Amino acid sequence: MKASTLVVVLSVAAAAPSFAHEEHRELGAHVHGHGTLNIAVEKTRVSIELEAPGMDIVGFEHSAESAEQKAALAKAKAQLTDPLALFKIPAAAECKLSDAKVELESGGEHAHGKDEKADAHDHDHGDKDGHDHDGKSAHNAFHVTYALECAKPENITSIAFDYFKAFAGAKELDVSVVTEKAQNKFEVTREKPVLDLAGAI
Amino acid sequence: MIIPRLALQSLRNRSLTAVLTVLGIAISVMLLLGVEKVRTGARQSFADTISGTDLIVGARSGSLQLLLYSVFRIGNATNNVTWKSYQDIAEQPDVDWIVPISLGDSHRGFRVLGTTPEYFARYKYRRGQPLAFAAGAQFNDLFDVVIGADVATALGYKVGDRVVVAHGVGSVSFVEHEDKPFRVSGILAKTGTPVDKTLHVSLEAIEAIHVDWQNGMPAPGESVSADDVRKMQLAPKAITAAFVGLKSKLATFRMQRAINDYSEEPLSAIIPGAALQELWGLVSTAETALSIISAMVVATALLGMVTTILTSLNERRREMAILRSVGARPTTILGLLVVEGTLLTLAGVILGTLLLYISLYALRPVIDRAYGLDVNIGLPSTSDLTILAAIVLAGVVASVLPALRAYRLSVADGMMIRT
C-alpha cells in the first residue's frame, strides 16, 4: 500500500515540469503611500507599531547619499521618536512614552533568517517620483515600535493623525486596534485624519 | 394659549381620523427605529461570531478567505497546515493556548470539524460567552461526535444516536465512512454562529476514518475494522487551521508577523475581529439599503398625514369661517393647523417608540432563538434621537402645506353654503 502510493507520487513528479533550483523565494507587498499602524492595549500598557515605506516618510527609498537626503533621514528619525506628536491621544489618557525604536529596513538587501526576502514593488503613484530604478535601488521601509504607559487608557477615545502633516508622502494607514475587549480595524486617510475609538478601548 | 387648546379640541372632535393618522406615523417610526436596531444588532452579532481568539493561523491566503473557511465554514482551504508547523507555533513562549481544526468531511450537508476537547472551552462567541451543552458532554471516545444545535434540530438527533460521516463536503455524498459510525455524545446549545451547523469530532477520529482509504476512495479489500483502528497510532499529519490565544495582547502583532514570516511553510495569521470587520465592510451596501427603505417608510407616513389634514380642510371649511368671523386672524388659522400637525407627529413618534420597546422586550428572545440575532434593547442612541427629532421637524414642515391653504381661503368662501 505504501509502495503503490509512492509510485503514484513519483509518476506525478515526473510528469510535472521540474524546476532545477529549489531555493525559497518570497516577495512581500510594498505599496507607496500606504502604511500600517498596529495598536495593542493591555491594562495600562499600550504598544504601537508603525510600518511605512520610505517613500511615505522621507520621499526616497535608496540609502541616503546626498547631504540633503541624510538630513531628511535624520529629521524623519527624530520626528518618529515622538509618537505622541504624530498620533495625538487625548491628554485625559495620561500617556507617557517609555520606549521608541526606529528601524529602517532595506527591502532589497536585508536578509530575513536564512531566506532572502525582497519586497514587491506596487507603485500606486504612477512612478512620477523619479528615484533611480537601477539594480542597487532598494525599497526601504520604516519599522517603528513604541511602548507607552497610559494611566487611563480608557480615555483614548480618539487619535488625531498629525502623522499626515509631518510626512507629505503618506496617504493612508491601515490601523488595527487590539484590546482585551475587542479587535478592530480602521482605515485612516489624509483626507480624514481622525480615528474615533469611542467604546473600542 | 388658545391655539393648542383649540387644536386639541378640534382633534378630539375628529378623533377617529386623528387616531389613525397617529397610528400611521407610530408604525412607521417603529419600523424605522426597528430597522436601525436590527441593523446594529446584525452587525454586532456578526462581529460576535468569534471572540477571545487572538489569531487564526492557516495556509497562506487572504485574511477573508482564511476567516471564511475557518470560522464560517464557507469555501475550502488553499492548503493544509502541517502538524510540524502547528507544533512549532504551539511551542512559542507567547502562545497561551492553541486549538487545531480539521475540515473536509461532512454529514448530510453539515460540515464535520476535527478538533481537540479544548475547543469547547476556548471557542468563545458574543463577547466571551463560552459554548454550553444543551445535552450530553464533549467527546471522550474516538467515535464520539458533538453536534451543533441546528444539526440536532434539522436531523432530529438525540444523544446516543448513530451518525455516519461522508467523505467530502457535498450534501449528497457517494462515499461514506460507513464502517466507522459515530455516536452522538453531546448537543451544543444554540449560539447563532456557524458552530450550530457543525459536527465536532476529535482530530484522531478524522485520521481514523481515513486510515484504510487511498486516493480519496476506500481501498478495496483493505478495510480496517473500527476496533483495529483504536489500536493504531492516529497522530494527525496535517490540520486545516488553528485558533491561537496569546498570553498578552501586546504580543498579537509580533506573533502575527512571526507566523507570516515563518520560512518553513507559507502560513498566514489573521486577527479575527479585524477580518470580520473587513468582511462586514463588503456587505455594508445591504445596510445602506435597509436605511433607505426605512426612510421611505417615514416619508410615506408623513405624506399620509398631510393628505389627512388636507382632506379634513374641506369638512372644516365652516369651522374655519366661524373662527374667522368671531375675530380669528388668518395667522391664527395657520398656527392652529401647524400645531395640529405637530401634535399628531409628536404623538405618533412617542407612541411608535413605546410600541418598539414593548415589542423588543417581547420578541428579543424569540428573534435570538430563531435567527441567532441578539438585538440590543438599550436606550435610544443619539443617532436614534436625531432621527426622531428630524421626523417631528418634518411633521411640522409637512403641516405648513395645508395650513397655508387654509390661510388663503377667504371668510366668504367658508360662509358660502355649498350644496
The complex's ipTM works out to 0.73
Look over chain A and give the mean of its residue pLDDT values, rounded to a whole number: 77
Choose among B51, B250, B261: nearest Cβ to A40: B250
At A133 the pLDDT is 41
- A114 reaches B (C-beta below 8 A): yes
Give contacts of B263 with chain A, Cβ < 8 Å.
Answer: 24, 26, 112-115
pLDDT of residue B86: 95
Nearest to A40 among B222, B253, B277 (CB): B253
Does A44 contact chain B (CB < 8 Å)? Answer: no
The pLDDT value recorded for residue B289 is 86
Question: In this model, does residue A61 exceed pLDDT 60?
Answer: yes
Cα distances (Å, whole numbers) of residue B190 to B139, B147, B211, B368? 18, 11, 33, 9
* Cα gap B419→B417, rounded to integer Å: 6
Q: Which positions 303-362 of B are in contact with A (Cβ < 8 Å)?
A: none
Q: Which residues of B touch A4 (CB under 8 A)?
A: 214
| Segment A4-46, tens digit of pLDDT | 555 555 555 555 666 666 676 777 777 888 899 999 999 899 9
Integer angstrom CA distances of residue B322 from A196, B274, B313:
59, 68, 14
Collect all residues of chain B within an 8 Å Cβ-Cβ radius of residue A38. Answer: 252-253
Backbone φ and ψ of B218, nearest 5°: -65, 135
Q: Kindly identify which residue of chain A lies nearest to residue B278, measuring between CA atoms.
A: A185
Query: Is A133 at the interface with chain B, CB within 8 A?
Result: no
A145 close to B (CB below 8 A): no
Q: What is the mean pLDDT of chain B?
A: 84
Look at B249 and A113 and tell me if their CB atoms are within 8 Å: no
Write out chain B's pLDDT in tens, 419 residues.
Answer: 678 888 888 888 888 888 988 898 898 888 888 888 888 888 888 888 888 899 999 999 989 999 999 999 888 888 999 999 999 999 999 999 999 999 988 888 899 999 999 999 999 988 888 999 999 998 988 889 999 999 999 999 999 888 887 766 555 555 566 667 889 999 999 888 899 999 999 998 888 877 665 555 565 555 666 666 676 767 788 999 999 999 999 999 999 999 998 988 999 999 999 999 888 888 888 888 888 887 888 788 778 777 877 777 777 777 888 888 888 888 888 888 888 888 888 999 999 999 999 999 998 888 887 777 778 787 888 878 888 898 889 888 888 888 888 787 766 676 666 65
- Residues B263, A24: C-beta atoms closer than 8 Å: yes
> Which residues in chain A are closer than 8 Å to B274, comparing Cβ atoms?
176, 183-185
Q: What is the pLDDT of residues B127-162, one digit of tens each?
A: 888 999 999 998 988 889 999 999 999 999 999 888
Q: Do A184 and B277 touch (CB under 8 A)?
A: yes
* pLDDT given for residue B42 in this prediction: 83
State whether residue B54 sits within 8 Å of chain A by CB: yes
| Cross-chain CB nearest to B252 (options A26, A178, A185) | A178
Q: Is B12 helix (H, G, I), strand (E, B) or coil?
A: helix
C-alpha span between B412 and B401 (Å, rounded): 21
B272 contact residues in A (CB cutoff 8 A): 183
Q: Provide the shortest C-alpha distance from residue B252 to chain A (in Å).
A: 7
% of chain A surpassing 70 pLDDT: 72
What mean pLDDT comes out for the span A78-104? 91
Residue B2 is predicted with a pLDDT of: 77
Question: How far is the C-alpha of B376 from the C-alpha of B345, rounded, in Å?
Answer: 26
Q: Give Cα B184 to chain centroid, integer Å.
A: 29
- What pLDDT is recorded for position A193? 92
Task: Decide: helix, strand or coil at residue B267.
Answer: strand
Cα-to-chain-centroid distance, residue B273: 15
pLDDT for B108 equals 84
Q: Say if residues B49 and B193 touch (Cβ distance below 8 Å).
A: yes
Rg of chain A taking only CA atoms, in angstroms: 22
CB pairs under 8 A between A and B: 58
* Residue A119 scores a pLDDT above 50: no
**Mutation for testing the B interface, residue in A4, A183, A197 having most B CBs under 10 Å:** A183
Domain ranges of chain A: 29-196
Question: Smallest CA–CA separation between A66 and chain B, in Å?
Answer: 33
pLDDT, position A135: 40
Residue of B nearest to A37 (CA): B253
Question: Residue B296: what pLDDT?
Answer: 86
Distance from CA of A138 to the nearest CA of B (A): 20
Predicted structure pTM score: 0.76
The confidence score (pLDDT) of residue B216 equals 56
Any idea how long chain B is? 419
pLDDT in the model for residue A149: 93
